[in-house]
Amino acid sequence: MGVSVLVLAVFLQLVGGMFARDVHFDENYGVVWGKPDHVETWYRGRELVLFLDQASGASFVSKQWFGSGFFHMKIKLPRGNSAGVVTTFYLTSGDGDRVNDKAHDELDFEFLGNIKGEPILLQTNVFANGTAGREQRITLWFDPTTEYHDYKILWNQNQIVFYVDDIPIRVFKNLTESGVPFPSQPLQIQASLWHAKWASQNETDWSYAPFKAHYQGFDISGCPCATKQCMNECYGQNYWWNDIRELNSDQRRAYEDVRRRHMHYDYCASHTPAPECSFNS
């Protein structure tokens, strides 16, 4: 077993405890938009609830920017008929027009609500240097509305890995030497609850409003970095997450099982797949 694989194996055994550090929401985050009555902190700031109705959604953002890290958020999704309701946790280089921004970087978890009894799809996406159109969607193997699950993003100079709890669901390698864009600028953590008609084929039933998304786990394992000049420092070996270069054998089997059994949509399955697809399968 190589050093990087061993680091990953040990990390995944310890990750639950590491992410259990008791941190108040206000220590690392602040509300960025939404009416005052659409955001509530519970349990002395250890839980945050976002509300969505026809008047407003809500969002919060980290106080710092980062150049690498292993980021996570514990989330419990809105219950009931949630068609058109989008719950998010993501890293972003800014709030501009992300489709037309030629330099935009972003790593997304987006949960697409649906009518009760239908699956809630989890969409991941990678924007890099303005390149978009890299959506993947999976069906979850549990009900994400009844209890918390931990959604994680590893981002270092080698790869990006999306996890649901301890199961990797997506890997995106750094292939810049092959001409594939890779996020290369500081990113800020954001989360939001909002409405989007494109997120479901069914109409939103506003009689279920206000929809509520619950968040926990406000500690952050990341390298603080506000400008591109500090990015190289954030790739250094003094940050343990930079040693994670690949999945171990158990994680690889779990990853392949998710792709085989739960993949709902994959941009790599198009007739003209992107060049990175052969490296990230």
Q: What is the dihedral of CA 28, 30, 32, 34, to 10 degrees?
A: 130
Choose, from 110, 177, 233, 276, the residue flagged as catalytic: 110
Lowest model confidence (mean pLDDT) among 20-29, 39-48, 179-188:
20-29
Q: Which residues contact 211 (CB under 8 A, 6 or more apart)?
A: 51, 52, 53, 78, 80, 82, 85, 113, 193
Q: Which two tokens stand for residue 202?
A: 């069914």
Beta bridge partners of 221: 70
pLDDT in tens, 135-174: 999 999 999 999 999 999 999 999 999 999 999 999 999 9
Question: Which of these, 173, 246, 241, 170, lies nearest to 5 by C-alpha position?
Answer: 246
Give me the helices (H) in the chain, please: 3-18, 25-28, 231-234, 249-262
Are 229 and 184 in contact, with CB atoms under 8 Å apart? no
Lowest model confidence (mean pLDDT) among 19-33, 57-71, 77-91:
19-33
Pairing between strand 29-34 and 167-173? unpaired
CATH topology of domain 25-269: Jelly Rolls (2.60.120)
Q: Does 4 have pLDDT greater than 50?
A: no
Question: Which of these, 171, 208, 211, lies nearest to 34 by C-alpha position?
Answer: 211
Query: How many angstroms separate the CA atoms of 37 and 208, rounded?
Result: 17
Q: Does 68 have pLDDT greater than 80?
A: yes
Average pLDDT over residues 242-263: 97
Question: According to the model, what pLDDT value does residue 153 have?
Answer: 98
Domain residue limits, the chain: 25-269
Question: According to the model, what pLDDT value does residue 2 have?
Answer: 44
Residue 216 host element (H or E) = strand 211-216
Beta bridge partners of 106: 92, 127
pTM for the structure as a whole: 0.91
Choose, from 27, 106, 177, 233, the residue flagged as catalytic: 106
Question: According to the model, what pLDDT value does residue 272 have?
Answer: 82
Long-range CB contacts (< 8 A, 24+ apart) of 43-51? Answer: 46/22, 46/216, 46/218, 47/214, 47/215, 47/216, 48/214, 48/215, 48/216, 48/218, 49/212, 49/213, 49/214, 49/215, 50/191, 50/192, 50/193, 50/212, 50/213, 50/215, 51/193, 51/210, 51/211, 51/212
Active site residue 276: no
Active site residue 246: no
Query: How many angstroms separate the CA atoms of 188 and 195, rounded?
Result: 22
Question: According to the model, what pLDDT value does residue 43 have?
Answer: 93
Question: According to the model, what pLDDT value does residue 90 have?
Answer: 98
